[in-house]
Chain A
Amino acid sequence: MSGEIASTEVPLVDIIDRLLERGVVLAGGVTISVAGVDLIELKLNVVLASVSAFDRASIDR
């Protein structure tokens, strides 16, 4: 029975999961304002983009 594939190239979906949900957070939460622009909106855009990208990848498979 096979099934294990050693890989160092991380799929985009896993990178998105890690970089947006994990990692050290310096200031209270993931949202830091820059010149009045709240990055939570940015994060939501990324998540939406990642979901659609993942759906596309599933269709292509």
Chain B
Amino acid sequence: MTLLVRAIVRSADAERHGGDLVAVRDGDIVALASPTTGVPAPDEPSLRAHHAIASRIHDSGPSLPSRFGQVFADEHALAQVIGSRRDELAAELETVGDRVEMSITLSWRTPVAHADEPEPTTGREFLESRAARERERRDAKDAVDRLLGGLRSEHQSARTQICPRDGVAAIVAVLIERNAVRDLREHVSAFARNDDRVSATVHGPLPPYSFVS
């Protein structure tokens, strides 16, 4: 039976997660995994289930959520890998701690559908198209600066994706204490009410997917 890794936790926190999860430990570091038969199906139910389990684990205490699809042949194989990265994982757990990720999507109020634009047929059209995309990226960075400008210094470690898809200026991930979630929502709400270029949607709190390596 193979093991699908869900998250990494400290040994002391692993006791809270019995039942359907297998705990594979090396010293103070424990990998929580689900038994599977073969390769997991990469469909929506599997992804949502992985997210739900990672969220449940992080709600119970500090954890490093796993990227989906890390499957090990057995407990021995998983223990070997944990052992080889034990110190690094312990340091990341210490850094991330109990904090949570909040995801803020900034959407253009007047979106441009690049997918609907015809392919450039002349050099001039090509250069104009490229310049328009560069302007959009610059405007998106400005919007992120406006959003983050009013946040406290702990929010400045934000992870940002600029123009990840049509209509979206940026997706910004911030790592915050659980008791700061409400303040962040209020800040984003005030920002979105007053910004004439972008609207904002907040998702979270989430496990800190964007802040672990």
Contacts and interface: CB of A to CB of B under 8 A. Distances in A.
B209 A32 contact: no
Interface in B162-213: 164-166, 171, 185, 188-189, 191-196, 198-207, 209-210, 212-213
Interface string B5-49: 101100000000000000000000001000000110011100110
B50 A19 contact: yes
B11 to A, nearest CB: 16
A25 B194 CA distance: 39
A11 B167 CA distance: 15
A36 B51 CA distance: 26
A5 to B, nearest CB: 5
A4 B209 contact: no
A19 B68 contact: yes
Nearest to B202: A6
Nearest to A30: B67
Interface in A25-42: 25-27, 30, 32, 34-35, 37, 39, 42
A2 B71 contact: no
A22 B171 CA distance: 14
Q: What are the 3 A-B residue pairs with the smallest beta carbon separation, nearest first? A: A3-B199, A23-B67, A4-B192
Interface of A: 1-27, 30, 32, 34-35, 37, 39, 42-43, 45-46, 49, 53-54, 58
